[in-house]
Amino acid sequence: MKSANGSGSGGLKILLGCLVLISLTGISGSAQGEQEGEIVGYGFGLKEYAEVSFAIPAEFDEMVQAESLEEGNYSEGKYVGASVLFDESRVSILLLYPCDLTGEELDAFDLVSALNGFNKAYDQAVYSEDPINISGQQAYVGQLEGQLIIVYQPSDLTVSAIFIDENINEEALDYFVPSLQINVDEAITPLYPEYCAGIQTETAAPAPAQPATEVVQTAQPVQAEQPAQTEEAVQPAATFDKAKIDAEVAETVERFEEMFGRKLSF
C-alpha cells in the first residue's frame, strides 16, 4: 500500500489530515458547539442490501441531492453503488461483494487490494498510514486525482469505498465522515454460487494468449454495467435464525426512521 507522505495536492493533504484529526477527536470543535436541532440526518438504501445514513449541519440541508444508484458485475464479484451531490461536489459510495472473501477481518493491504480488484486504476492511489474510524471499524484514507478515497470493511463479506470530491465543503465533511454508517443486511447477497464458481474457474485456467480485459474507468468512481436481475439475489445457505433476523431488521428500521427521517430517493 502506497504511503501518502509527500504525495498529492495541498488541498487533498489538508482534507486527509482533517479526517485523521476528526477520527482521533470526534467531531471537530465547531461541531461540538452545534445544538442537536441544527443537525440533519439523511439515509438511503443500497438496493435491498444495505442502509446508508449520515448527518450534516442543517445549513447544508438544501445542497444534498441523490444522483445515481446502480448494481452490476466486475471481474472479481458484484457491486452496488450510489452517488450523492453535496452542492456541486460528488460523494460516491461503493459496496463490493468479492467472491473470495471468507469472513475474516481484512487488514489495510487486503482492503486496498479488494478495491484495486474492482478497478486497477485505483492502484495509483496513495494512502495515509494512520487509520480513521467509521462505525467502530478501521478505515484507510487515500487520494487519487482530486478525490479522497476511504476504504473499510462494513461487514464480514463486503468492502466499502467512499469517494469524495476534493472541493467538498470542509464543514460538511467534518460531520459526514464521523456520522457515516453503512448497515449491511448479511442475510442477503447479490452473489450466487454459479457466478462465483465461474470466476474461480477462470482464475484457475491457464493464462490466455491475449491479456484479460481489466475493469478500468476514467470518469466516475463507479461505472455501470448491465444491472443485475432481481432474481439473481439469493439467500445464503441456511445458517441464519430467521426470527432473530426479522426482529433485528425491524428494530434497525425503527431506529433508522427515528434518527434519519429524511430519506433520499434515487
Quote the Cα angle for 160-164-170, to 5°: 130
42 CB neighbour count, 10 Å cutoff: 20
The H-assigned helical ranges of 74-182 are 108-118, 170-179
The H-assigned helical ranges of the chain are 10-25, 29-32, 108-118, 170-179, 193-204, 242-259
Task: Going residue by residue through the chain, which has 266 residues, state the pLDDT in tens, using 9 for 90 and above.
Answer: 665 544 444 444 445 444 444 443 344 333 444 444 588 999 999 999 999 999 999 988 888 999 999 999 999 999 999 999 998 899 999 999 999 999 999 999 999 999 999 999 999 999 999 999 999 999 999 999 899 999 999 999 999 999 999 999 988 899 999 999 999 999 999 998 889 987 766 655 444 444 443 433 434 444 444 444 434 333 343 344 545 545 554 554 454 445 445 666 66
Q: How far is CA 67 from the centre of its chain?
A: 16
Does the global pTM surpass 0.75?
Answer: no
Give strand ranges (E) for the chain.
Answer: 39-46, 50-57, 64-74, 77-86, 89-98, 126-127, 132-134, 137-144, 147-155, 158-165, 181-184, 262-263
Q: How many CA atoms lie within 13 A of 204 on its CB side?
A: 6
Write the Ramachandran bin of 14: left for phi over 0, alpha for psi from -120 to 50, otherwise beta: alpha
Residues linked to residue 55 through DSSP beta bridges, in sequence order: 41
